[in-house]
Amino acid sequence: MKRLAPSILCADFSRLGEQVAAIEAGGADLIHVDVMDGHFVPNISFGATVMKSLVGKTALPFDVHLMIEEPDRYLKEFVTEQTEYITVHAEACVHLDRTLKTIHDMGVKAGVALNPATSLRVLDWVLELADQVLIMSVNPGFGGQSLLPYTLEKVRETAALRGRPEFRNPELAIGLDGGVNLENLGRALEAGADILVAGNSVFKAADIPARCREFKARMI
């Protein structure tokens, strides 16, 4: 099942509740929560407090994307009854195997994010531990960037990995994050992406629910 995960990094924070209600009305499937620490990425966004302000205010599950150094320090802050995924960057984890197991022990699905230049080989020994592989299609830190076309090849290769007979995690979800819009959506889906993160292309639309419905209509 293909899922739409609008990134609230690109929402109007002065009206965050309304904006989340708008994506929910439009049929979005997840709220992508972009957490940035100003160290792992050259930008600071928000912490768990902002995400927790949405608990109970929306039925949408949280797809937490931690763009932070040493994420182990903060994992439990992001565990709520609505947290479906916590995704950490392979580049930010010294002990990725342990971090993914820690996320699972907290009762949450574990994701691994890879920056554009990072090889899929870093997944070799942890792919069966991951519930999501998040392929970054921009260099992380900011919304509104253009999708780097070569990253769609990484999506394709991850989908091929998942299809290997010896691979015991056929439920693995492939996320694509950065610069996704209605123009490149078809190529992203064809490459094998399951969770489509969209920031500016959703939240900068004049009619947010309609834009979400446009995405969803093409994701069937």
Count Cα atoms within 13 angstroms, Cβ side, for 200.
10
| 118 is an interface residue for ligand DX5 by CB under 6 A | no
Stretch that binds ligand DX5, among 74-82, 155-163, 196-204, 205-213 (CB under 6 A): 196-204
| 111 is an interface residue for ligand DX5 by CB under 6 A | no
In the bound state with ligand DX5, the residue whose beta carbon lies nearer, of 35 and 96, is 35
Interaction partner, residue 180 (ligand DX5, Zn ion, none; CB < 5-8 Å by kind): ligand DX5
| 32 is an interface residue for ligand DX5 by CB under 6 A | yes
Structure tokens at 31: 């709220």
Q: Is 11 left (phi over 0), alpha (psi -120 to 50) or beta?
A: beta
The active-site residue out of 29, 37, 63, 177 is: 177
Each residue of 90-121: b (16+ CB within 10 Å) or e? Answer: bbbbeebeebbebbeeeebbbbbbbbbebebe
Residue type, 166: E
Instruction: Determine the distance from the C-alpha atom of residue 183 to the mean position of all C-alpha atoms in its chain, rounded to a whole number.
Output: 19
Stretch that binds ligand DX5, among 46-54, 97-105, 134-142, 158-166 (CB under 6 A): 134-142
The active-site residue out of 29, 34, 131, 194 is: 34
> Residues 6 or more apart from 32 whose CB is under 8 A from it?
5, 6, 7, 8, 9, 63, 65, 177, 197, 199
Instruction: Work out how close the CB of 167 gets to Zn ion at its nearest, in angstroms, rounded to a whole number.
Output: 25
In the bound state with ligand DX5, the residue whose beta carbon lies nearer, of 48 and 101, is 48
Interaction partner, residue 179 (ligand DX5, Zn ion, none; CB < 5-8 Å by kind): ligand DX5
- Interatomic CA distance for residues 54 and 24, integer angstroms: 12
Q: What is the size of the binding site for ligand DX5 (CB under 6 A)?
A: 22
> Residues 6 or more apart from 182 whose CB is under 8 A from it?
201, 214, 215, 218
Interaction partner, residue 58 (ligand DX5, Zn ion, none; CB < 5-8 Å by kind): none
In the bound state with Zn ion, the residue whose beta carbon lies nearer, of 118 and 217, is 118
| 175 is an interface residue for ligand DX5 by CB under 6 A | no
8 A C-beta contact, residue 212 and residue 19 = no
Q: What is the size of the binding site for Zn ion (CB under 5 A)?
A: 3
For Zn ion, the binding residues in 50-89 under the rule CB under 5 A are: 65
Residues that bind ligand DX5 (CB under 6 A): 7, 9-10, 32, 34, 65, 67, 138, 140-141, 143-145, 177-180, 197-201
